[in-house]
Structures are given as structure tokens and as C-alpha cells.
Amino acid sequence: MSDDRIRVGVIGVGRGRSFAGGASDTVGMKLVALCDQWEEKLTEAGEQFGVATYTDYDEFLQHDMDAVVLANYFHEHAPFAIKALRAGKHVMSETAANTTLAEGVELCRVVEETGLIYMFAENYPYTVFNQEMRRVYRTGEIGAVTYAEGEYNHPMSPDARLRIAPGHRHWRNWIPSTYYCTHALAPLMYITDTMPKRINALSISCPTAEQQVTAVGDSGSVILCRMDNGAVFRLFGLVLPGHSNWYRLHGDQGAMEITRGGGYYGPGQVRIWHEDWNMPEGAETERVYTPEWPEHGELASQAGHGGGDFWTPFHFANAIRSGEAPFLDVYRGVAMSSVGIVAWKSALEEGVPLDMPDFHDESNRKLFENDHWSPWPQDAGPGQPPPSIHGFRDPHPTGLAHGREVWKEMGYTGEDI
């Protein structure tokens, strides 16, 4: 195996350490380089893994390697992916795939032009629960999906939020409430193999939570997606009080869900149920059980994000070897990331329904190739959107004062402190 292992470089030594560890003989990969601008952490990671380190991305791309894993900032993935693809590297990108519609168009075009593998590293489809619900759905037991719900709501203490978002211009402080939607949507798309066609959304502000941190965006949202088979998917998140990582699907022959209170954080189970007058042959009215991994259970159960951090490099490596695009290809990655963008356009108009771009169709892509609508502070200018339904606002004085204390303790000395 050592002669044909896929040589991988990882950008980002925070979240990227998980990917660095996942580039192993188990999946036929070999970590060869790391890249980050945080020199202290980069040096530490380079010594831990025994690989070359770079602070310059262009120099990093010149390293002798086959593939790049992007674990840099949320709003920077598309430009880095495009540059890596044009340098002849396969790419696996963390969420989001793109944070403007123009980036999504260009990313799809470059993948098509280069013929290289692009995989969206969305890990939530690969929990044992969601893989089991995909298996059940494909048997036809609950029929065709008509309605589904996906929830990824992950509140954190004020100190924890401030520590992962140092500086009030950090992307986490500016992210619109709809943008981090892929953890809620991706498992539903994976289970049902459907695509979003039309979106409407409402944003939720929670002043008691927002005043404790330096965020200028809202705390949560509800998104409705009309899918290409006519089904409606409801998505909920982001950091409102009350943790929730949960999925439910209703078909025309039954329904299934992850039991509440579990998810990958605890001993959750899969529940499948039918009406007694609408029972598929051989089915039970209701059953609740603990699912098992389809394969590689011992390895998956030890990985982060409920096993997803094992499965994403596993499928990425298989796609490179086979030359066949993975399920989470560029079109699905860009589509589910763009749901967050289109949903924010809807939320700023109090829920007006809007059509999704068709990223497979070049004639439709042309309509969005110059759509650089962006909430990030570095893109500020005429016509750009605010990160909140309250418009552009300054961090709350209480949150900013506390943030400065936390950041000082961390050793953060950025200009936006």
C-alpha cells in the first residue's frame, strides 16, 4: 500500500488536525504537508505528524502531493479549492463549499474543466443513524419522502463562543443565521437523494444570547426547502438555547427518525413507524432499535463527529482511486451551501420564496456568475447585505468588553480586538 498511497496536504491546523490524522494507511492516504498562518500551532502540528509545513498557500501547493483537504475558515473555501484544482490537486473541502453564488458557479466550472475529484466534507450524513436511515429509505419501506426535518442547533457558553471567534471581525461573529445549514440539510439529501429547488426562510434573533458575545449576526433560523420531488424539508438551527441534532422523514408509506435526546452525542436509536391501515407487507407497526455500522464500525466509532470524520476521507480516497465523483460531489456541495445564501436573501425579505440556481446548467449558471452578494466585513460596500435582520449593528458593549478579556487571556492581539 505504501507505494500507491494518496499523498495529502491539509490547510488549517485547528479543525484540520482531525483530517491530518484521518489521512492514514487505513484509507490509503499519507499526510505529507500542512499549511497555516498560525506559525506556533503549525510548528507544533508539523512536529506531531512529522511532515513539511508552509505558511504560504502557493508554496504549499508546489509540494509533491495528489490532494488537498481544506479546513480553513468557513468563508474562504471556494477560492482555495479553485486554486488547488488549477494546480492539479484533488480537493476535499469543509463546509461551506461557497459563500457567494458566483463562487459556486466558478467552482463547478473548474471541477468540470480539470476533471479532478471534488468532495464536500460534510460529515453529518455519515453518522450511524443517518447511514441506517439511508439504507432503510432505499428499501422503499417508508415510500417516497413527502416531508422531512433536520436540526443542527449547537449552543455554546459565551466564553466558548468567544474563544472560537477571536476578534469582532471573525467570520463566526458575522455569519448570517441561515448560512450554517448544511449539517441540517446534508443528511436529508443523502438519505433521499433529492435536491433543493425553492427556498424561503425566517431569521431568529435572541438578544439575551447575542449580548453576551461579539456576534453581530442572529442566533437562529428556520428554512423551508421545496425539493425536486415536491417534498418540503424544514431546517432549524443555529446557536439558540437548547441543543438539537435530529432528523425525521415522512414518506407516503411511513416515517422514521432519530429518537430525541441522542443523536451522535448519546445513545440515540432509529424509530420507524407505520399506520395500521397503510402497512407495507411484512412491516411492523413500529420498531425502535440501535443501528450498527454498515462496515468499519470499530474505526468509525473512534472518529469525531459521530464517525463522520472517518467516512469523509474514506469516500474521498475511494473517489480518487476510482475516478468517479463521490455522492457529496461539487454540485451537491454547492447546492446545499447555496441554500444558506438564498435563504438569507429570503429572510431579509421576511420569508419571500426564491428559486435556487441550477448549478448543473451552464445557461442558468450564467445568471449568477457575477453574484458576489456577501455579508462578510471584508466585502462591505453598496448593495451588500447585513448579517442580521436588525441590519448592521455593533457588538453589544457587554459582550465586547468580555470578549476583550477572553482574547487577552488567549494571547490574541489582532487589530480588531
Give the pLDDT confidence of 276-315 residue by residue, as tens digits: 998 888 889 999 999 999 888 888 888 888 888 899 999 9
Q: Can you give the pLDDT at residue 1?
A: 42
The CATH topology of domain 6-120 is Rossmann fold (3.40.50)
| E strand or H helix at 354 | strand 354-355
How far apart CA 50 and CA 321 sit, in angstroms, is 25
In the predicted model, residues of the chain with pLDDT beneath 50 are 1-2, 263-264
Q: pLDDT value at position 268?
A: 78
User: What is the residue extent of each domain of the chain?
Assistant: 6-120, 127-297+330-379
Residues with Cβ < 8 Å from 396, sequence gap 6 or more? Answer: 210, 211, 212, 214
- pLDDT for 283 equals 86
CATH no., domain 127-297+330-379: 3.30.360.10
Nearest by Cα to 215 from 253, 164, 260? 164
Domains 6-120 and 127-297+330-379 equal at CATH topology level = no
Other Cβ atoms closer than 10 A to 140? 11
Residue 206, burial from CB neighbour count under 10 angstroms (0-12, 13-18, 19+): middle
Residues 6+ apart with CB under 8 A from 207: none
The confidence score (pLDDT) of residue 114 equals: 98
pLDDT of the residue at 265: 52
Residue type, 4: D
Q: Is 36 exposed, middle or buried (0-12, 13-18, 19+ CB in 10 A)?
A: buried
The whole-number pLDDT of residue 23 equals: 81
Identify the helix (H) or strand (E) that includes residue 201: strand 196-204
- Cα separation, 124 vs 180, in Å, equals 13
Q: Are 177 and 218 in contact (CB under 8 A)?
A: yes
- Strand 270-273 and strand 286-289: the pairing is antiparallel
